[in-house]
């Protein structure tokens, strides 16, 4: 599947379709908290990260998450877990996103870019 850069709202149904074509109930995403865009559909978060870097993103602004379309509108819709989040130089010492402010930014961006109801 090709990686898609989302910079305007898309429906959760479209995201669910992408997920079903790849991993089933989950889709990987990498969010640029500065440019407020998101890449979806990479086999690895690092693939999405590279695409965004090639498009001018800064690595320090990129955070990997997993989305569960069936849980749209619930806290478990977004899972903050990716190897690209492991950044000791930025004080992030785990695969999660430890900074609450960054988590809120990611959440706001995802909420603006993915709309609608899951089937």
User: Rounded to whole angstroms, how far apart are CA atoms 24 and 45?
Assistant: 16
Percent of the chain's residues with pLDDT above 90: 95
pLDDT tens for 37-46 read 999 999 999 9
- Strand arrangement, sheet containing 4-6: 4-6, 37-40, 27-32, 62-67, 78-79
Domain that holds residue 28: 4-115
Structural domain count, the chain: 1
The pTM of this model reads 0.94
pLDDT tens for 2-36 read 999 999 999 999 999 999 999 999 999 999 999 99
């Amino acid at each position: 599947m090709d990686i898609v850069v989302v910079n305007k709202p898309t429906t959760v149904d479209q995201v669910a379709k992408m997920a079903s074509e790849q991993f089933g109930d989950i889709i990987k995403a990498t969010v640029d908290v500065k440019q407020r865009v998101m890449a979806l559909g990479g086999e690895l978060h690092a693939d999405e990260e590279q695409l965004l870097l090639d498009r001018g993103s800064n690595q320090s602004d990129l955070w990997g998450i997993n989305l569960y379309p069936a849980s749209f509108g619930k806290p478990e819709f977004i899972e903050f877990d990716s190897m690209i989040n492991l950044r000791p130089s930025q004080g992030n010492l785990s695969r999660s996103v430890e900074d609450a402010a960054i988590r809120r930014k990611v959440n706001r961006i995802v909420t603006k870019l993915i709309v609608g109801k899951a089937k």
